[in-house]
Structure 1
Amino acid sequence: MVATHADIDLETVAQLSNGSSGIATSALARSPAVKGAVVLATCNRYEIYGEAPHADDVEAARAALVGQISETSGLSEQLVSRSFSTHTGPDVSQHLFAVSSGLDSAVVGEREIAGQVRRALITAQQEGTASAGLVRLFQAASKTAKDVGAQTALGSRGLSIVSVALDLAIDLSEETDWSKKKVVVFGTGAYAGATMALLRERGCRDISVFSSSGRAATFVATRGGTALDGDTLHAAVAAADVMIGCSGSDTRVEAAELAQVRAGSTQPLIAIDLALTHDFDPAVGELDGVELLTLESVRLAAPQEQAESLAQASAMVTGAAQSFEQEREARSVDSAIVALRRHTMNVLDAEMEKVRARHGCTAAAEEVEFALRRMVKQLLHVPTVRARELASNGQQDDYVAALETLYGITVEQPAAASKAECPMDHSSLTASPLQGAVNLQENEARRNSA
């Protein structure tokens, strides 16, 4: 199930992703049609990869996921269902491999998404929602992304949502030297880390960090910069040339509050809001002396990649997806082959017990066993080869059904393996961060007592 910037507005994507961290666990508990689930939630996409026990269960699994998302987001099931497009079968691997390689991003070729895909799988494994099939899918997607980054020009560009946003900021500034700019970063998540690294690369030395969760001091300890709290935030924002929102928390900088903090200042301010749920009130862009850049601004300004690089990357993604599907189909009959072999060998062992009971452990009995085992091996050769051939044509279910019909063999499916992490810092408060340290301390104490 896929909801992205390419199909719906970012506000709807943000609403859908409310409560995303518990969706997979809840869906598994809600319906037996959901065998496994991995959630990929980023700044401009909300995707849920699910595995159903059988093809007939796909619609029931989708309905369970839609119902759970409706409950957590507060949106109607009809709206949720319309907002998601659904991929099944080989289309799933093709889509995820393209996503992880940056081909489906607002900034084509961006490398941040590969890490987000990796973290989504890790989180699902920690929560016990990643089935064995989904683990293999996501691992293959990560390998494909790595290959695309290493073997095409897309990886060498080093483009990202953050880098394009910083380029836009320079285009809007009279001062193009980052070493002379004062920057305030909101958030301590993965995007905040990427932002800090890029600012350092571009020569920025005056970087302050605020986090409503109080993690700023820990964050800057390994990255440099100055940690802000409720007492020091106002002064830092008042003197800033650029402020960058990367937290995606429930609080945001309101236009009226920013106007009050910046009252009397003639210093232009560029506000870069990279949070899907908005760290900055959209009305901030209407204030005198303030330029507001959003994810939509970044998407529109993202450079188009060269056709040759895109074609090469797309071909790699398609080839990798096809190879994955072929391996998956071949693997899907492994359990059936094992079941047939086990059934046949059990019959052989039973017959040999009768031979030994009658003739003892004699040379004649050993010759009989050797001959029978060789015969069984020959008899199993054709069914095994045929299983592989059927799997390669997507007919593995026919093979399994035949075993059940002819031999009464029940084929056991492989056991499942053991929260998608948005790159934003999702710690939340009930008030704007510019309202000071009092609310920060109250909410921190409330979280600690919870």
Structure 2
Amino acid sequence: MVFVSLVASHSDVDLETVARLSAGASEVASGALDGTGPVSGAVVLATCNRYEVYAEARSEEDIEATRSTVISEIAELSGLDEQVVSSALTTLTGKDAVNHLFAVGAGLDSAVIGEREIAGQVRRALIEAQESGTASGPLVRLFQTASRTAKDVGSRTALGGRGLSIVSVALDLAEDLRDDAWAEKNVVVFGTGAYAGATMSLLQQRHAGNVFVYSNSGRASAFVATRGGTALTDETLADALRDADVVIGCSGGDHKLTAGDLAETGRGDAPLVAIDLALTRDFDVSLEELEHVDVVTLESVRMAAPAEQAAALEEAREIVLTAADEFAAEQRERSADAAIVALRKHTQRVLETEVERVRAQHGCTAAAEEVEFAMRRMMRQLLHEPTVRARELAAQGRSDEVETALSNLFGISTADVAAANKKAPRQKPQAAPAPAPAAMPDDAVHARHRTA
């Protein structure tokens, strides 16, 4: 099993490309899983400034096939050429993929370093994958550990205390452009998704009193029922836009607000701040050409985000790297568990064959029971040292040597180990079988059988 991540984010490609890749994002994971291909699990993380697919390849030999499968699905759903998709995505494997996800979840790879929203988006990506049945066991553990790491960074470093987010920086920019108090502003919010929810929460913290919400999907009424504000309809939207001081785009819908739309409301040249937080842009570029409209985009937020203190950032990165190392060690131990289970199954089959021969020859006699007891005790003793050594080698990253030894000495194939890996329960490192107790005296053995 190998983790493979394909990444396109604000730091590597333009946001328009990220948006185009994200088309059909919810269907990529299920499309990549056909039950027989190289991909055994997938989770998609799509946010306002990144698009990332985390897949589980069945083996290292399947990495390239996994990458090709995912790229083909993205190309088909987005309508982009496969070569365009391939060039836009950076491929990370193994520990590099783990490190990246942990850093992303902790907000260390965000436009606003230490932002809070991304941790929730990582959790939701996993939940959606679990609901659709595309999240394999290793991917579930990977994303759950990323979420715990994000909590550690938030609670143990200064990054968590600043409370910065993409939305908060955008609202700060709006305050710089128009210094009126939020209580005096009329605000129109487009969308009812996660960013719209975060926006409503921050507007409440800033005591915004006149907030209106519009959704072309008709969910505005249900949205404001739990978050406050006033729901808008197609009939009331124009009046709200005419009186608006700030409009905030969080929907990424098909219709973009244009300069012509504003003109039709009759608002004239009244000053307006338009904050566009949607990846696919809610506001048409024609708004940027209006002198009385100030447009704040995700790129504006990225450039305006304050630099973090070096000490806090270094501490956060250390937490992320330590968590990634511990996760990698745990994964290596899991591979040893699978090999141990495969070895135990092999020896158990041999043991049961011999036990049946004894029973067939001697029946259910005390002598037969004594022989069976001795054989099982000997098997435990024989397996103890290989179990300990297998875990030691796995901790050193030498699981392949364990599998090679099993193949050469017992004829146990990598397919047998892989099958055991699917069924093997997680075993704690200290749970290795203890050496068998010293043999009971013969009199004690006979006494046990006589009293049974």
Q: For 1:293 and 1:252, how far apart are their aligned partners in 2?
A: 15
5+ residue gaps, structure 2: 1-5, 424-452
Report how many aligned residue pairs link the two structures.
414
Cα displacement (A) at 1:148: 1.0
Task: Quickly say closer, same or farther: Cα 1:235–1:74, change in 2 above 3 A.
Answer: same
Cα displacement (A) at 1:13: 0.5
5+ residue gaps, structure 1: 417-450
Q: For 1:359 and 1:31, how far apart are their aligned partners in 2?
A: 48
Corresponding residue for 2:434? none
Q: For 1:14 and 1:413, how far apart are their aligned partners in 2?
A: 41
Corresponding residue for 2:228? 224
**1:31/1:61 contact within 8 Å kept:** no
Aligned equivalent of 1:365, options 344, 363, 368: 368
Residues 1:331 and 2:316 aligned together: no
The Cα offsets for residues 256-314 of structure 1, whole Å up to 9 and x where unpaired, read as 222332443x4310000000100000220211311000000000000111111111111
Aligned equivalent of 2:71, options 66, 74, 98: 66
**1:152/1:309 contact within 8 Å kept:** yes
Q: For 1:235 and 1:19, how far apart are their aligned partners in 2?
A: 34
Higher relative contact order (CA 8 A, sep 6+): 1
Aligned equivalent of 1:385, options 374, 382, 388: 388
Aligned partner of residue 332 in structure 1, secondary structure: helix
**2:243/2:267 contact within 8 Å kept:** no
Q: For 2:266 and 2:88, how far apart are their aligned partners in 1?
A: 39
The Cα offsets for residues 145-167 of structure 1, whole Å up to 9 and x where unpaired, read as 11111111111111000000000
**1:348/1:372 contact within 8 Å kept:** yes
Aligned equivalent of 1:317, options 310, 320, 335: 320
Q: For 1:190 and 1:165, how far apart are their aligned partners in 2?
A: 16
Corresponding residue for 1:252? 256
Aligned partner of residue 50 in structure 1, secondary structure: strand
Q: For 1:186 and 1:156, how far apart are their aligned partners in 2?
A: 29
Corresponding residue for 2:178? 173
TM-score (norm 2): 0.89
Paired-residue identity, %: 61
Cα displacement (A) at 1:141: 0.4
Residue 76 of structure 2 aligns with an amino acid whose one-letter code is E
Q: For 1:378 and 1:414, how far apart are their aligned partners in 2?
A: 23
Corresponding residue for 1:125? 130
Q: What are the equivalent positions in structure 2 for 1:162-201 lying under 5 Å apart?
A: 162-175=167-180, 177-201=181-205
Q: For 2:136 and 2:142, how far apart are their aligned partners in 1?
A: 10
Aligned partner of residue 38 in structure 1, secondary structure: strand
Aligned equivalent of 1:235, options 222, 225, 239: 239
Residues 1:349 and 2:372 aligned together: no
**1:237/1:262 contact within 8 Å kept:** no
Q: Which has the larger radius of gyration?
A: 2
Residue 294 of structure 2 aligns with an amino acid whose one-letter code is E
**1:132/1:414 contact within 8 Å kept:** no
Cα displacement (A) at 1:373: 1.9
Q: For 1:128 and 1:107, how far apart are their aligned partners in 2?
A: 32
Aligned equivalent of 2:118, options 113, 117, 126: 113
Q: For 1:310 and 1:173, how far apart are their aligned partners in 2?
A: 32
